[in-house]
Amino acid sequence: MSERRALPLIDSFGRRHNNLRISVTDRCNFRCTYCMPEDVTFLPQQHLMSFEEIARFAHIAAGRGVDKIRLTGGEPLLRRELHKLVAMLTSIPGIKEVGLTTNGLLLGEHASSLVEAGLRRLNVSLDTLDRDQFRRIARRDGLEKVLDGIERARVVGFGPIKVNAVAMKGSNEDQVVPLARYCRERGLELRFIEYMPLEAEETWQRGQVLTAAQLRDMLAEAGMPTQPIPRSDPSAPATDFEYTDGKGRLGIIASVSEPFCQSCNRIRLTAEGKLRNCLFALEEVDIKTPMRQGASDAEIASLIEGNVVDKWEGHQINSAGYVRPPRTMHTIGG
């Protein structure tokens, strides 16, 4: 078993996978238009993987070279006592980094316990600073509470704190500059994410995408020109830039206009225990059922290996062969 554990997770295209994204729940307290439907039925609690099952899977994956974990949802802070899972994951040998992506609504209440459990890296979704626009996109109120949560996270010592904004033409393009200024003033790193075809209503059109090039042009016109930073991690999904005046950094995840599939290093575990080798995967591997039926660590490791080996070259958003996955974003984990 020790020899097996030393082998990395490499797919048929030579990509090494060390990054695991774990969805802890499909539930959310928002209904963002680009992520999930307004009317949705969530999974019963007993269908979710337990903290112990998640930690066991992470331990097995760590033995195969996974060293980065990110907790997602739905909204992960809706999972009760999430700090206990964080503590379990940060104690796994080989895990160097545990991060969290949240919509920030409950962040103020949980920031201290998460830091105490060992969490340091934090991404907060924030698409607009305009209250009416926020309500229109999230289909819920809560902007002030999200902003308060970000401030609380700064106070208790999170670092770095990244702000994720989905950039959409005809929706929040007027917020590109205000969000950049907000983050620059507070030492936060803004990350724009191109709008992807994973929304529930299936109304996505390529013309709604604000591309990386367009975003940089908008910032330059507002007096905030940027320049690229050499990649320290070629597998990172975001292309990093720095403002030429030295006041901060910016990341852009250009999944549509500049796909980074050739360097992807991620696997994803859904809240109900399905392993996915791509955000846009059409097939999944059941992990939870074998675990509950008594599968050994070696058998679970074999399932992970097979899923990685079967990974395709890329999502094909820009080709005629693109097939939309049957899941929406909130059931995958982003």
Which class would CATH give 2-332? alpha beta
pLDDT at site 329: 79
- With vertex at residue 229, the alpha carbon angle to CA 115 and CA 206, rounded to the nearest 5 degrees, is 90
Confirm or deny that 274 is annotated as ligand binding: no
User: Which one-letter DSSP state was computed for residue 171?
Assistant: T
Confirm or deny that 136 is annotated as ligand binding: no
pLDDT digits (tens, 9 = 90+) for 283-300: 999 999 999 999 999 999
Is pLDDT of 40 > 90?
no
Is pLDDT of 42 > 80?
yes
Confirm or deny that 264 is annotated as ligand binding: yes
Q: Which two tokens stand for residue 99?
A: 């991060």
Confirm or deny that 183 is annotated as ligand binding: no
Per domain, the residue ranges of the chain are 2-332
The whole-number average pLDDT for the span 9-16 is 96
d(CA 101, CA 308): 23
Whether the Cβ atoms of residue 176 and residue 166 lie closer than 8 Å to each other: no
Q: Which two tokens stand for residue 322?
A: 């693109």
Kindly report which listed range (18-32, 143-157, 160-174, 317-331) carries the lowest average pLDDT score.
Answer: 317-331
CB neighbour burial string for 107-139, b if at least 16 within 10 angstroms, e if fewer: bbebbebbbebebbbbbbbbbbbeeebbeebbe
pLDDT at site 18: 97
pLDDT at site 205: 82
pLDDT digits (tens, 9 = 90+) for 186-207: 999 999 999 987 766 667 788 8
Which band of pLDDT confidence, cut at 50, 70 and 90, is reported for residue 4? very low
Burial class (CB in 10 A: 0-12, 13-18, 19+), 333: buried
Confirm or deny that 70 is annotated as ligand binding: yes
Is pLDDT of 184 > 80?
yes
Residue of 275, 299, 295 whose CA lies nearest to 1? 299
Is pLDDT of 98 > 70?
yes
pLDDT at site 1: 36
pLDDT digits (tens, 9 = 90+) for 234-278: 788 889 999 999 999 999 998 888 888 889 999 999 999 999 999
Confirm or deny that 162 is annotated as ligand binding: yes
User: Which DSSP string do the residues of 240-252 spell out, in sequence order?
Assistant: EEEETTSS-EEEE
- With vertex at residue 139, the alpha carbon angle to CA 134 and CA 140, rounded to the nearest 5 degrees, is 75
Confirm or deny that 267 is annotated as ligand binding: yes
pLDDT at site 2: 38
The strands making up 285-286's β-sheet, listed across from edge to edge, are: 226-228, 239-243, 249-253, 189-194, 161-167, 121-125, 97-102, 68-72, 19-23, 266-269, 274-276, 285-286
The whole-number average pLDDT for the span 5-12 is 82
Confirm or deny that 196 is annotated as ligand binding: yes
Which band of pLDDT confidence, cut at 50, 70 and 90, is reported for residue 3? very low
282 phi/psi in degrees, rounded to 5:
-100, -15
d(CA 129, CA 72): 23
d(CA 157, CA 180): 22
Whether the Cβ atoms of residue 195 and residue 256 lie closer than 8 Å to each other: yes
Confirm or deny that 306 is annotated as ligand binding: no
334 or 17, which is more confident? 17
Confirm or deny that 216 is annotated as ligand binding: no
Query: Strand locations in the chain, DSSP E?
Result: 19-23, 68-72, 97-102, 121-125, 161-167, 189-194, 226-228, 239-243, 249-253, 266-269, 274-276, 285-286
Is pLDDT of 334 > 80?
no
Sorted by sequence, the CB contacts under 8 Å of residue 14 that are 6+ apart come out as none
Confirm or deny that 268 is annotated as ligand binding: yes
In this prediction the pTM is 0.93
pLDDT digits (tens, 9 = 90+) for 68-93: 999 999 999 999 999 999 999 999 99
Other CB atoms within 10 A of residue 314 CB? 16
Which band of pLDDT confidence, cut at 50, 70 and 90, is reported for residue 6? low
Give long-range contacts, CB 8 A cutoff, 24+ apart: 324-327: 324/197, 324/202, 325/198, 325/279, 325/280, 325/281, 325/282, 326/282, 327/198
